[in-house]
Amino acid sequence: MANELPPVRRILTGFAPGGAATIVEDRAAPHTMTVPERPGYRVTSLWVTGETPAKLEEPDGTGTHKGLLPPKGGTVFRIIDIPPEPKDRSAMERMQSATFGQIYADRARSAGPQKHPGMHQTDTVDYAVVLEGELYAVLEDKETLMKAGDVLIQRGTNHAWANRSDKMCRILFVLVDGKWS
């Protein structure tokens, strides 16, 4: 894709042998996923914690973590590059179906007729920050355009993301495992 964004750089801190704080990693994030049926769509997993409070010495869990949801009691930190969506709804439905089938198999899309083919719901609190471009946060009865610097706190509602522009969008997500009272 012509306007694809560069890889995400991950810088990780830790401790040197003498105990001094240091940078132990500085490279392109090692765990990315793509969907061939959705050119330009890229999920970069940056960190996964297995519980809260997080163990500070816990190793990187991104290589073994699968799916959309964080581990029970944990968190997921990821950046997603979302290309402009096609105008043809059937093409978008095929792309969403491939995305959920290949990357987010742990979360089925919402059943029945939906406002957007990517509608889904999670039992998480999600912090979403648009880093570049723009994206619509689509809910059942409303939607809003998010631009670079905008923040959305997603609290377990049925939702989808729609890039209706002609440019890539890069959005950062932190998903925190949640529960209904």
pLDDT recorded at residue 3: 65
Structure tokens given for 123:
């039992």
Those residues whose C-beta lies under 8 Å from the C-beta of residue 95, and which sit 6 or more positions away, are 35, 37, 38, 41, 85, 86
Structure tokens belonging to residue 117: 């083919």
User: CA–CA separation, 92 vs 87, rounded Å?
Assistant: 8
Check residue 106 and give its pLDDT.
81
How much is the pTM?
0.94
> How far apart are the C-alpha atoms of 175 and 152, rounded to whole Å?
12
Pairing state between β 134-139 and 159-162: antiparallel
Q: What is the pLDDT of residue 112?
A: 72
d(CA 60, CA 147): 30
> For the chain, how many helices (H) and strands (E)?
1, 11
User: What domains can you pick out in the chain, each with its CATH number?
Assistant: 30-177 (2.60.120.10)
Burial call 20-57: b when 16+ CB within 10 Å, e when fewer: eeeeeeeeebebbbebeebebbbbbbbbbbeeeeeeee
Q: What is the distance between the alpha carbons of residues 92 and 114, in angstroms, rounded to a whole number?
A: 13
Cβ-count burial of 9 within 10 angstroms (0-12 exposed, 13-18 middle, 19+ buried)? exposed
Encoded tokens for 109: 């899309």
User: 77 to each of 12, 19, 36, 125, 165, how far by Cα in Å?
Assistant: 13, 26, 23, 12, 25
pLDDT tens, position by position, for the chain (181 residues)? Answer: 446 899 999 999 999 999 999 999 999 999 999 999 999 999 999 999 999 999 999 999 999 999 899 999 999 999 999 999 999 999 999 999 999 999 988 876 777 778 999 999 999 999 999 999 999 999 999 999 999 999 999 999 999 999 999 999 999 999 999 999 9
Instruction: Identify the pLDDT of residue 116.
Output: 92
